[in-house]
Structure 1
Amino acid sequence: MGSPTNRLERLLTRRNAWSVILVVATLSMGAVFALRDLRVDYDFEKFFPNDDPELDRYHGFRARFGHDNDLLLFGIERTPSVFDPGLLTQVDTLAARLARLPRVTQVLSPTRLNEPRITPLGVFEVPYLRFWNDTLLSLDSARIWNDPRIKDYFFADDARAMLVVLNTEPNLSKAKCDTLLAQVKATLADCGMADTRMVGRIVGQDHYIDTMVREMVLFLSCSILLLAVFLWIGFRSRLGVVVPIAVVGLAILWQVALMALLGKPIGILTMLLPTILFVVGMSDVVHLLECYLDELRTGSTPVRALAHTYGEVGFPTFLTALTSAIGFATLGTANIPPLQEFGLYTAVGVLLTFALTFSLLPALLVLTPPRHLLPKSIHRSPWSHRMPAFFSWTIRHRRRILVAFVGVVALGTWGITRIKVNNYLLEDLPANDPVKQGFVWFEDTFGGARPFELEITLTDSSRTVWDLDVLRRIERVQHYVDTAYGVRGTLSPVTIMYALNKASNGGDRAYYQLPADSAQCARLAARMRLLGPVATGGLVSADGRYARMTGRMHDEGGHRHKQKNAALQAHIDADGPSPIRMRQTGMGYLIDRNNETLSTQLVRGMGLAVVLTALIMLWFFRDWRMVLVALIPNLVPLVLIGGVMGFLAIDLKVSTAIIFSIAFGIAEDDTIHMLAALRHHLRQGRTPAYALKRTYLRTGKAVTVTSLMLLSGFVSLILSDFASVYYLGVLITLTLAFAFVAELLLLPTLVMTLMRK
């Protein structure tokens, strides 16, 4: 049968090499062809868990009252006042033309709203704004300022800005959103209002996707450039740069093509997949090349050196691919489709990189003369004179190193206690981003742009929201929402009844309140039902058993909103037994709730990755001391980065929680290579001290090169305009930097402490 090395040598022939290259080339051509169907998508709602009962409740709420995020807000400014006949004429023309656009369901503009007047002769409607008459316009503006329902919803407090609200068909595709947005912009230009401010889902989606595509190309290009620099420093040859990049680049091509074949679009998370795969996949390639070149320096023939390399490093390389894949796959423990897909496809990509590293890479090395791969340093590595001195320093100061790391862990633990779970709706965008600036302008001008939704359900089937005692309960909650909670432009069944009572009393502002008795309330409710759904404005269901309280508010962050939600619920509960149930819902509420639960799930997923990795290490090394040596140098950086987050007030959210699983899976690779080499030398009968020295001087060189490349690859993410990607780049880079230091300082110290014999 022969030794494993001899069997590998028999496989490493030029004929087999050409066969592998032919198969890889064929598959790669098919992958290029599959890229035709690649799509880019960005949908907030995909980040909600499918099995969440709150999401199910929101879907029922949305089915009754419509979507709370399929709209566009237009902010129109004029100094000293928007109550200008010429401007209002433009706004009215704009509203009329927008309403005629395809896929637009409704346009709300103060210029096209009427105030009902209920008289013994019937219901009459008076326009809120008779902008064609200067005298009447002055009276109408004063009348609006005495009507909180219209004034708070459509106008700024200083009367220098007004709102027009456009509702679209629900669940529009990316293509339909792009078409509608182009039509809206053209309409604004035709009406002479091209500088009008806009916020809404289709504006944000268009901006996000354009930025995602641009940044995906930027990150991958920067990673390739930086890694090429480090490959040149490490190998000093053109082929030493081209071969690793070609191997990993093809793995990325295959992975993205697989997503295209399965109909999976590129999203906010999967756009990072090419960069992450390129950086992570390069680690194993460099380890194998370093080992191969070291074998060549001993005088082995190329085929013999290659067989020795794969015989010695092959299984540890498989373990590194497996543990990295596990680190990414544990993201699937979060029941969120985009995170599950990101974890799954990145794990598959890591395994594809491993497959090409064990097929295409040896084929290329068999066909490449060693002098072409590393002509300048075949006899001497640039790291040869640095590693011995560093190893000696580490061994001499191992006690101080151990004490220093204990102090670091204590400091990091203290910092972790300062972390809070928090998120903002548009936190991803920088302050100078036009979409972010538009959102902030709407917040400042109109008292908020974050939607507020409260679901009102009658638990007594014999009652409706139009019963006076029910309305009074809703009124008390609405007063709290307006004053203590900070909602602006609140609409509810109460505001409808206010308006009906006012309309039935000749429009007198003094009657903008609930009727004094149940009989009058019942008469107004009956009159309102005759007016049909238009009168309820999508606030009350047809049977009167379901209603909503809606408005807008400042985005103060999920942490603050959680506190305010608890206070609101306490206020509702304090009202005593009630025939109605009031619970918050809506997109903003779900985003806050989802971020909190997801962050916890992701941290638990990282714990699962640690447990699985520990079991793999125990199976491979058969020594609990090796398990400790494998885990501690990679857990300490996670504690330290948690401390950094706490001291720098970096909130825990989905984008920062995933770095723990990713960083652990990546950092563990170098540890496995180090300990596998240590195990190899110990099995050859060497003492722990000598085995550690051999490991440090040989494998430590590859660890140094791969760590520097990992850092250079992830640091490119700090160029992102998305805050989540920026923090991902910063925190993973810092974590890997800490892990690199722990690898060279703490790991040898632990080996000398735990494995003296």
Structure 2
Amino acid sequence: MKYLIGAILALSVRRPFLLLALVVPLAIAAALGVPRIGFEDGLRSVFASDSEVFQDYVESSQNFAHSESDIAVLFSTKEELNPATLSVLQDFVLEAQFLDGVDAVLSIFSVRHRDQVSGKMVPLLPSDLNNNAEVVRALDLVNAQSATGARLMSPDKRNTIVILSMSQAITDMAGSSETLRLLDDLAARTSAENDIKIGITGLLSVRDQIIWGLKSDQIRINFLGAVAGFLISFVLFRSFWVTVLNMLTPIAALLFCLGLFGWLGLSINALTNALPVLILVLASSDSIHMTYEVRKQMADGATVREAVTTSVRDIAGPCSLTSLTTILAFMTLYYSDSPIVRDMAFTGAFGVFFAMLVVLFVHPLVFMIGGSIPFIRAAFLPKRKNAFDNLFGTSFFQHLISKYRQYTIGSFVLCALALAYFFPIQTSYRFMENIDASQSVAVVLAQVEKVAGPMTSIDIPIKVPDGASALDPDVLQELAILHQHLQAIDGIRAVISLDTLVKQITVASGETVTQHLQSVLDQLPGRFRNRMIGQDNQSLQIMLLVRDEGSRAVVELVDKVNRVIDDADLKILRPKQPTGFLVMSSTLSSTMIRQLTVSFLIAALFCPFLIGMWFRRLDFGLAAAVPNILPIALVGAALTISGTGIQFTSALALTIAFGIALDDSIHVFNRISLEGKKSGQPLVARTIVDAMVQIAPVLMTTTVVLSTGLIATQISGMPMVRFFGVLCVATFLLALVCDLVILPPLVTWFASNSEKDKLPR
């Protein structure tokens, strides 16, 4: 550590303009790197792993088409569909099917039936849409004749759905934005020219909306976080120039980190969206500690150079340790099987480390250069007390220490109760928790599901025995039995399989069911055909349409499905484990959330150990545990009791917030150590009280700045980002209370017997 402090003093204090000459071009390079940052939703890759569940999903996705590659377009009219509105719809479908990436289109114009005269399969809707009688008759039969089993029109005939099945490249979001923009333009143009409302939704649309939200969030959240931090700092420091100098370093840290992310090719996704503002507020917190120390030294008569030098020597160490504990909290996320979570671990740890270097080198530089300007140097001297200076006096902390046994035992009991409610972990996950229910894509999705039923499904791949055909009568007969059993399960809205087609077709004389079924399948677009028969032609798929009621409900429903399959006593077909995006995400989310919880436990074990090693005092490490675990346990218990459960967002937030919450404890220990060196008595009541009186206003200031900065997340369009901010703020506020009320008694409790002899009775 002494080498780092020596480097800081050599550059920032002794050669500030040389360091400035290095910082300016680096800042320009960082600014050029910011536009290079990529954005992705990351909501599919978050589950990528070597687990059997994910590999089953990958294998199924390669053989079958799934509804997650669909875009649903909802057409709504004030009156029943008529020849005029059908003509508009037909033109839209014709133009949409030629958009890049669209593999197939399913609409009411795709529905076919057997012509009584020719015996051929022909479109149900007449070619002459002006034949009103034929149109009305055809519309009455649309839902019953749909080859895929999906309802394409509402009973009142005022809403109809067009399904666009996208190519695999678009499913992977490569070039999807452009296709969706073209589709939006087509919908807007069609709607403006006609009295028709058109809405677009589907998994791809949701993911695209998330990416656009990420981009706008970065601008709005970081800007608001910086403005809020400036205003709060101004209120607390009561000096415009001190506030300006204090905010320059956090903004520089954010700029350098974002620029480096851009040059390294790192992306912002749904998990890392709050990371930049987190770096901003962490850098603000460390800067505030150094600013307080500089002003304190100058109030005692030191020059700017002397004040900055003392500040670096006294504060650089604990600021480095606070960054290390936060880095450790991020690194524990490597325990996760998810590549995107591990990427977040690297990005977060790297960002915090780089921000630490910026704060340690740039903040002293800012004060050295600012101090060379007379009217700014005059502002360094605190003419008025900080807003929090008079909140805590010596009597408050003397009371805590005199009753240290009671407060310590009480904190142990409270922590045990909170952990008892927190564990065992109750996990919760829904895909749509990633987007606001009021956004158009979510509103349209709800409307589409009212018409067509759920767009999410439990998919059951079924292996056909070697030598048999998927269309053999024996295979179809056993499929019908399984189809019927699955329909009886409560919670399943509809079952779609080849049996759905068999029940709809009318076989002509001299033709077998297999022959007619083959002719129907041949007329279906490939991606719709592959929802029922695999590309290998040796496997079938049954799709169980269900609503996403949360991961626990989905897992319970899958268990019911497995029991029904086991009881079906199948002789020919060999169903595999149910899969699909809904099943895969619901199953793995529970595992991964528990892994993130283990990450928190690892951080809770090693961070206090690191503190003890850093200060070379085991008692400091032991005292740090409860005041920082308790806030996490209380928040986790509240989530469990409320029925919210632990989600991805909360698991990540609690792990990261733990590492950040330790910052206050570290600065308390540092202040106790500094006061002990001054008095020559390492740990007596007077030392603890003096240290707490000095550090309490700083802790409150940094907590307010941290909380205010993260409150900026509430303007995000993504619920999980807003939830992340709320959980972090709640944890920071609880951690502040614990550090002010519980930590002093705990330090006293774990003190050596010789030190306790000097404490008041």
Q: What TM-score does the superposition give when structure 1 sets the normalisation length?
A: 0.89
CA 1:352/1:641 → structure 2, altered by over 3 Å: closer, same or farther? same
Residue equivalent to 2:555 = 562
State whether structure 2 residue 673 is matched by structure 1 residue 679. Answer: yes
Q: Which amino acid aligns with 1:721?
A: G
CA distance in 1, matches of 2:107, 2:370: 72
CA distance in 2, matches of 1:447, 1:522: 29
Q: Which amino acid aligns with 2:470?
A: V
1:243-642 correspondence runs (5 A): 243-369=245-371, 372-373=376-377, 375=379, 377-378=381-382, 381-382=385-386, 383-389=388-394, 390-395=396-401, 398=404, 401-402=407-408, 404-406=410-412, 408-413=414-419, 415-416=421-422, 420-458=426-464, 460-488=465-493, 490-500=495-505, 502-504=506-508, 537-538=529-530, 539-541=532-534, 544-550=537-543, 552-576=545-569, 578-579=571-572, 580-642=574-636
Residue equivalent to 1:46 = 45
CA distance in 1, matches of 2:691, 2:462: 68
Residue equivalent to 2:205 = 203
1:108-187 correspondence runs (5 A): 108-116=106-114, 124-130=120-126, 131-144=129-142, 146-147=144-145, 149=147, 152-172=150-170, 176-187=175-186
- The answer to whether the Cα contact below 8 Å between 1:467 and 1:521 also exists between their aligned partners in 2 is no
SS of aligned partner of 2:227: helix
Residue equivalent to 1:735 = 731
Q: Which amino acid aligns with 2:180?
A: L
CA 1:176/1:739 → structure 2, altered by over 3 Å: closer, same or farther? same
How many Å apart are 1:175 and its aligned residue?
Answer: 7.7
CA distance in 2, matches of 1:113, 1:6: 75
- The answer to whether the Cα contact below 8 Å between 2:507 and 2:516 also exists between their aligned partners in 1 is no
CA 1:489/1:180 → structure 2, altered by over 3 Å: closer, same or farther? farther
CA distance in 1, matches of 2:151, 2:402: 72
How many Å apart are 1:153 and its aligned residue?
Answer: 2.9
CA distance in 2, matches of 1:79, 1:168: 30
Residue equivalent to 1:76 = 75
Q: Which amino acid aligns with 2:253?
A: A
How many Å apart are 1:545 and its aligned residue?
Answer: 1.5
CA 1:151/1:470 → structure 2, altered by over 3 Å: closer, same or farther? closer
CA distance in 1, matches of 2:519, 2:215: 55
- The answer to whether the Cα contact below 8 Å between 1:419 and 1:650 also exists between their aligned partners in 2 is no
CA distance in 2, matches of 1:408, 1:374: 48
- The answer to whether the Cα contact below 8 Å between 1:92 and 1:111 also exists between their aligned partners in 2 is yes
Q: Which amino acid aligns with 1:161?
A: N
Range moving further from structure 2, 445-454 or 553-562: 445-454
- 1:716 paired residue among 712, 715, 729: 712
Residue equivalent to 2:657 = 663
Residue equivalent to 2:698 = 702
Q: What TM-score does the superposition give when structure 2 sets the normalisation length?
A: 0.89
How many Å apart are 1:705 and its aligned residue?
Answer: 1.5
CA 1:374/1:697 → structure 2, altered by over 3 Å: closer, same or farther? farther
Range moving further from structure 2, 257-266 or 484-493: 484-493
State whether structure 2 residue 697 is matched by structure 1 residue 693. Answer: no
CA 1:177/1:265 → structure 2, altered by over 3 Å: closer, same or farther? same
CA 1:591/1:157 → structure 2, altered by over 3 Å: closer, same or farther? farther
CA distance in 2, matches of 1:427, 1:6: 46
CA 1:6/1:98 → structure 2, altered by over 3 Å: closer, same or farther? closer
CA distance in 2, matches of 1:532, 1:449: 20
How many Å apart are 1:79 and its aligned residue?
Answer: 5.7
Range moving further from structure 2, 348-357 or 425-434: 425-434
- The answer to whether the Cα contact below 8 Å between 2:115 and 2:121 also exists between their aligned partners in 1 is yes
SS of aligned partner of 1:75: strand
- The answer to whether the Cα contact below 8 Å between 1:102 and 1:180 also exists between their aligned partners in 2 is yes
CA distance in 2, matches of 1:13, 1:203: 50
State whether structure 2 residue 89 is matched by structure 1 residue 95. Answer: no
- 1:212 paired residue among 214, 223, 227: 214
CA distance in 2, matches of 1:225, 1:13: 27
Q: Which amino acid aligns with 2:239?
A: S
- The answer to whether the Cα contact below 8 Å between 2:676 and 2:683 also exists between their aligned partners in 1 is yes
CA distance in 2, matches of 1:743, 1:51: 42
Range moving further from structure 2, 707-716 or 206-215: 206-215
How many Å apart are 1:281 and its aligned residue?
Answer: 1.4
- The answer to whether the Cα contact below 8 Å between 1:297 and 1:378 also exists between their aligned partners in 2 is yes
Q: Which amino acid aligns with 2:36?
A: D
State whether structure 2 residue 641 is matched by structure 1 residue 647. Answer: yes
SS of aligned partner of 2:105: strand
Range moving further from structure 2, 350-359 or 739-748: 350-359
CA distance in 2, matches of 1:263, 1:211: 20
- The answer to whether the Cα contact below 8 Å between 2:125 and 2:135 also exists between their aligned partners in 1 is yes
How many Å apart are 1:407 and its aligned residue?
Answer: 5.4
CA distance in 2, matches of 1:246, 1:201: 41
Aligned residues: 738
Residue equivalent to 1:510 = none
State whether structure 2 residue 712 is matched by structure 1 residue 726. Answer: no
Residue equivalent to 2:55 = 56
CA 1:578/1:280 → structure 2, altered by over 3 Å: closer, same or farther? farther
SS of aligned partner of 2:747: helix
- The answer to whether the Cα contact below 8 Å between 1:474 and 1:494 also exists between their aligned partners in 2 is yes
CA 1:4/1:214 → structure 2, altered by over 3 Å: closer, same or farther? closer
CA distance in 1, matches of 2:194, 2:375: 69
- 2:747 paired residue among 739, 747, 751: 751
CA 1:542/1:716 → structure 2, altered by over 3 Å: closer, same or farther? closer
Residue equivalent to 1:238 = 240
Q: Which amino acid aligns with 1:609?
A: A
SS of aligned partner of 2:71: strand
CA distance in 2, matches of 1:504, 1:88: 31
- The answer to whether the Cα contact below 8 Å between 1:237 and 1:374 also exists between their aligned partners in 2 is no
Q: Which amino acid aligns with 2:559?
A: A
How many Å apart are 1:154 and its aligned residue?
Answer: 1.7
- The answer to whether the Cα contact below 8 Å between 1:48 and 1:55 also exists between their aligned partners in 2 is yes
CA distance in 1, matches of 2:694, 2:418: 32
Q: Which amino acid aligns with 2:222?
A: L
CA 1:484/1:289 → structure 2, altered by over 3 Å: closer, same or farther? same
CA distance in 2, matches of 1:208, 1:533: 30
- The answer to whether the Cα contact below 8 Å between 1:118 and 1:504 also exists between their aligned partners in 2 is no
CA 1:412/1:473 → structure 2, altered by over 3 Å: closer, same or farther? farther
CA RMSD of aligned residues (A): 3.2
CA distance in 2, matches of 1:198, 1:9: 56
CA distance in 2, matches of 1:318, 1:267: 28
1:38-58 CA distances to partner (integer Å, 9 max, x unpaired)? 333324322222423333332
Structure 2: runs of 5 or more not aligned: 756-761
CA 1:128/1:682 → structure 2, altered by over 3 Å: closer, same or farther? same
Q: Which amino acid aligns with 2:567?
A: A
CA 1:183/1:235 → structure 2, altered by over 3 Å: closer, same or farther? closer
How many Å apart are 1:750 and its aligned residue?
Answer: 0.7
CA 1:578/1:619 → structure 2, altered by over 3 Å: closer, same or farther? farther
